[in-house]
Chain A
Amino acid sequence: MIAAGIDIGAKTVKVVLMSDGQVLARRLVPAGLDTAGATEQAFQEALRAAKLERSQVERLLATGAGRKTCALTDREITEVGAAAKGVNHLLQSCRTVIDVGAEEGRTVRCDERGKVVDFAFNEKCAAGAGTFAEGMARALQVPLEELGPLALTSRQAVQMNAQCAVFAESEVVTLIHAKTPREDIARAVLDSIASRIISMVRKVGFEKDVALIGGMARNPGFVAALKRGLETDVFVPEEPEYVGALGAALAAAEP
């Protein structure tokens, strides 16, 4: 039975096509100015890659920030449910899923079947999720994907005082002006986001194994900061941004 999961995030739309527990195709398209268009595009590209016709997809579930306005289906699953399901498929021993996207950070505690036991959000404030990193990468004049590797070369922890993405940008400019090494600033930025995510995680508590998904999981500096702060190992799936869509597809396939 062919099932599809669509994760409509703030920055990107992800589609995963599955059949009997196997992934047939996955696609990611930037949401850009036209989320509906991006969703349609991602879906079509995934179908093409799996050599499937639209009609062959029997079940479809949407998740993510835009799940309520998905034109392709009116069936949805919460991001929290999708995250737990998705990670459980990849790592059955996982009991805590940390999902850090562009605009929202989440922590989900789940059981051995991937069922949600407890959760918490960081929402509505850009400092609580990945957008914080974007602004700082801009202020440091490095491409976003280089922020993590740059942070890893830092040999000194520097404290960031700002708890706001807008103020932090000014603080970064001041630090640059005070000749603070760029790698130390990069590390401070990622430590700062990690600290807010970790506070959220500690509020509901966490249990090993711990997994990290979402766009920020691609940032090695952030992963390092998270491991450091939680004092535990963190499992990062190979394609962390697809796990929500994966979870939605798995949930769609369920009877």
Chain B
Amino acid sequence: MIANYGYKDGSGDFFIAIDTDRCNGCGDCVPACPAGVFAVGEDLHDPLSDKPVAKVVEEHRKKLKYSCGPCKPDRNRPPLPCVQVCKPLALAHSW
């Protein structure tokens, strides 16, 4: 499943999409993120599955614009550490 975490408000769309079919639960994204946006655990939206997958933690879900801010300067934006470290290419940002 494609799990879209984040929100849309007056100032824009801020979603991180995690493809839980591609995600292998390796957890590389967890330390790669300087803000601690990710965690790996039970797929809460698929109650009949046992496979651990990555997700955006509750603390950051509604503040993503701010949480991801330091990695997204307006000019000369470098590649995002979380996307770079994900070997199965399960992570994508909407902004």
Contact = CB atoms under 8 A, between A and B. Distances in A.
Interface of A: 120, 122-128, 161, 163-164, 195-196, 199-200, 202-204
Contacts of B70: 202-203
Contacts of A120: 74
A124 B11 contact: yes
B10 A199 contact: no
Given A122-B11, A196-B63, A204-B74, 15 more contacts: A120-B74, A124-B9, A124-B11, A125-B9, A125-B11, A127-B9, A195-B66, A196-B66, A199-B63, A199-B65, A199-B66, A199-B69, A200-B66, A202-B70, A203-B70
Nearest to A199: B66
A222 to B, nearest CB: 17
A195 B60 CA distance: 13
B69 A202 contact: yes
Contacts of A163: 7, 62-63
Would you list the 9 A-B pairs with minimal beta carbon distance, nearest first? A199-B66, A124-B10, A203-B69, A125-B10, A163-B62, A124-B11, A125-B9, A125-B11, A199-B69
Interface of B: 7, 9-11, 62-63, 65-67, 69-70, 72-74
5 contacts: A124-B9, A161-B62, A164-B9, A196-B63, A199-B63
Contacts of B9: 124-125, 127, 164
Q: Which of B63, B65, B67, B74 has the largest count of A CB atoms less than 10 A from its CB?
A: B65
A203 B73 contact: yes
Contacts of A126: 10
Nearest to B73: A203
Contacts of A127: 9
A contact patch SS: helix
A204 B40 CA distance: 30
Contacts of B67: 199
A120 B11 CA distance: 13
Q: Which of B7, B67, B69, B70 has the largest count of A CB atoms less than 10 A from its CB?
A: B69
B32 to A, nearest CB: 19
Nearest to A161: B62
A164 B9 CA distance: 9
A204 B10 CA distance: 21
Contacts of A204: 73-74
Nearest to A122: B11
Contacts of A202: 69-70
Contacts of A124: 9-11
Nearest to A164: B9
A98 B73 CA distance: 18
Contacts of B7: 163
A128 B65 CA distance: 12
A123 B66 contact: no
B95 to A, nearest CB: 13
Nearest to A127: B9
B15 to A, nearest CB: 15
